[in-house]
Amino acid sequence: MPPDRERGGQAAHFRALESLYAQAPINTVFESRLEIVSAGVARIQFTLDQRHFHAAGAVHGTSYFKMLDDAAFYAANSLVTDRFLLTTAFNLLFTKPLKAGPVIAEGRWISGKRRVFVADARLIDAEGDEAARGTGTFMRSRIALAGLSGYVS
């Protein structure tokens, strides 16, 4: 396939993944926007507020997991054009409490191109500091991307 057509197909896949992310019901709880930067690289901009806090007034760990998992997941799924991936394991490390405000989750594919993929992600707070990082494994499911209503290319 000529390089321009291959890139066009890749760009369409990236935009379709961004559409899929935007239409996920969970994202009504998290004000966010996904950008597939390139093959194997995803960036999500989040805005957190008191709805995401635990009783001690900082962002709850479920929010960290959501942001890290999504960024790593989409970095990996950017390499797969036919199937939806599933998270099979995810480890995370909290390094700094998050407060209300903007957060960027950066995901990066590490290895795997057939059945199992490994990707990592990190959270960057408004001051530019890393607040958390994580690594996940993701595997191909039987769910066709083309069959998902949000996957619009």
Q: Which of 5, 25, 144, 1 is nearest to 77 (CA)?
A: 144
Could you tell me if 41 and 17 are in contact, meaning their C-beta atoms sit under 8 angstroms apart? no
pTM above 0.85, yes or no: yes
Q: For residue 110, is pLDDT > 90?
A: yes
Q: What is the pLDDT of residues 114-148, one digit of tens each?
A: 999 999 999 999 999 999 999 999 999 999 999 99
pLDDT recorded at residue 152: 87
Residue 58: phi, psi to the nearest 5?
-130, 170
Q: How many other CB atoms are there within 10 angstroms of residue 108's CB atom?
A: 17
Output the CA–CA distances (angstroms, integers) from residue 98 to 36, 39, 46, 57, in the order listed: 24, 29, 12, 10
pLDDT recorded at residue 67: 97
pLDDT recorded at residue 127: 96
Q: Which domains are seen in the chain, by residue range?
A: 3-147 (3.10.129.10)
